[in-house]
Amino acid sequence: MSMKVATRQVDGITILDLSGRITLGEGSVTLRDAVHDVLGKGSKKILLNLGEINYIDSSGIGELVSGFTSVRNAGGELKLLNLTKKVHDLLQITKLYTVFDIWDNEASAISAFK
Amino acid sequence: MPDSTTSRVSLTLGSSIESVDRVEQTAQEFAERAGFDEDTVPNIAMAVREAAVNAVIHGNAYSPGKQITATFETNSDSLVVRLTDQGAGLDLNKIPDPLAPENILRGSGRGIFLIKAFMDEVHFRQLHPGTEITLIKHRVPAQPPA
């Protein structure tokens, strides 16, 4: 199953609801394009909802990091929402858990944007 | 019921993402058949996938003229997966530590780290040309009845 993205706006925040797999190839490219598309439209506050991501590989992790740095370099913020246990564990192992701003409640995550 | 008998499968595949997916799927099937638990099976499959990705991308550089081979073997002690590519070879000393502060925000370079995190043994061998990586996950011995 490849990755799918649904985009919505809440209080000026762009929420990307991701589902499926973020892996080398289609999944990583889809995520990269989605983040760049949001940035290209001038939105710099992005919340990635990973609640329906059932698999991610090192390429997918790398794409999350690249998205994070792209948004930050553009003067924006990218936060993560609803990590599955698998993604949570991978971010812990790779020491990225403290790099990202991670939330398990959408309303709280939205409030956390400056 | 875990299958403790020895079984072996070898695949020779092209340098493509489809090959990576097939190697991962085969690893998952072997790990399930070997009786690894539901937390360990996906970790084994991921480690093997990462090794296949390295073989296809960094080893063979997607070259249509080069192939990867993947050999899966289960025995009474462990699951052993060997992957080979036909690339220029791998210098382990040049692989940066993905946990180092200067590398933590890199967009790549975590594959071998994850392989080592999820497998019990990882061995590299240079084939001149090519690289062979061997991934081993030991079966947990059955607990004696209380």
Residues of B with Cβ-Cβ distance to A72 under 8 angstroms: none
Cβ neighbours for A94, distance < 8 A, ≥ 6 positions apart: A61, B98, B99, B110, B113, B114
Are B117 and A86 a contacting pair at CB < 8 A? no
pLDDT at B90: 85
Q: Is the pLDDT of residue B5 over 70?
A: no
Cβ neighbours for B83, distance < 8 A, ≥ 6 positions apart: B23, B48, B51, B52, B55, B68, B69, B70, B71, B132, B133, B135
Question: Is residue B27 in a domain?
Answer: yes
Give me the CATH number covering residue A52. Answer: 3.30.750.24
The alpha carbon of residue A88 is apart from the nearest alpha carbon of chain B, in Å, by 14
The interface pTM score, or ipTM, of the predicted complex is 0.89
The alpha carbon of residue A62 is apart from the nearest alpha carbon of chain B, in Å, by 4
Q: Coil, strand, or helix at residue B137?
A: strand
Tokens 């289960």 sit at which residue?
A: B74
Which H helix or E strand runs over B82? strand B78-84
Over residues B76-102, the mean pLDDT reads: 93
Identify which of A55, A62, A94 has the shortest CB distance to residue B107.
A62
Q: How far apart are CA A11 and CA B12, in angstroms?
A: 52
Q: Is the pLDDT of residue B30 over 80?
A: yes
Give me the CATH number covering residue B105. Answer: 3.30.565.10
Identify residue A1 by its one-letter amino acid code. Answer: M
Domain count, chain A: 1
Residues of B with Cβ-Cβ distance to A61 under 8 angstroms: 110
Q: How far apart are CA B66 and CA B56, in angstroms?
A: 9
pLDDT at A27: 83
Domain count, chain B: 1
pLDDT at A25: 80
The alpha carbon of residue A10 is apart from the nearest alpha carbon of chain B, in Å, by 28
pLDDT digits (tens, 9 = 90+) for A59-110: 999 999 999 999 999 999 999 999 999 999 999 999 999 999 999 999 999 9
- The residue of chain B nearest to residue A96, with distances taken between CA atoms, is B104
Residue A9's domain comprises: 4-112
pLDDT digits (tens, 9 = 90+) for A16-59: 999 999 998 878 899 999 999 999 999 999 999 999 998 999 99
Strand-pairing partners, residue B136, are: B80, B121
Q: In A41-105, which ranges are continuous DSSP H helix?
A: 58-73, 85-93
Which whole-number Å values give the CA distances from B49 to A71, A75, B139, in the listed order? 29, 35, 20
Q: Is the pTM of this model over 0.95?
A: no
Residues of B with Cβ-Cβ distance to A58 under 8 angstroms: 50, 53, 108, 110-111, 113-114
With both helix axes pointing from N to C terminus, report the angle between B40-53 and B111-118 in degrees, rounded to the nearest 10: 150
Over residues B81-94, the mean pLDDT reads: 92
Q: How far apart are CA A13 and CA A50, in angstroms?
A: 16
Q: How far apart are CA B73 and CA B90, in angstroms?
A: 24
Q: How far apart are CA A7 and CA B109, in angstroms?
A: 29
For residue B48, which of B139, B126, B115 has the smallest C-alpha distance? B115
Which H helix or E strand runs over B116? helix B111-118
Question: Is residue B75 in a domain?
Answer: yes
Question: Looking at A2-44, which runs of residues are DSSP E strands?
Answer: 4-10, 13-22
Q: How far apart are CA A40 and CA A48, in angstroms?
A: 17
Q: Is the pLDDT of residue B132 over 90?
A: yes
Q: Which of A35, A57, A85, A92 to mutate to test the interface with B (most CBs of B within 10 A)?
A: A57
Residue B45's domain comprises: 7-138
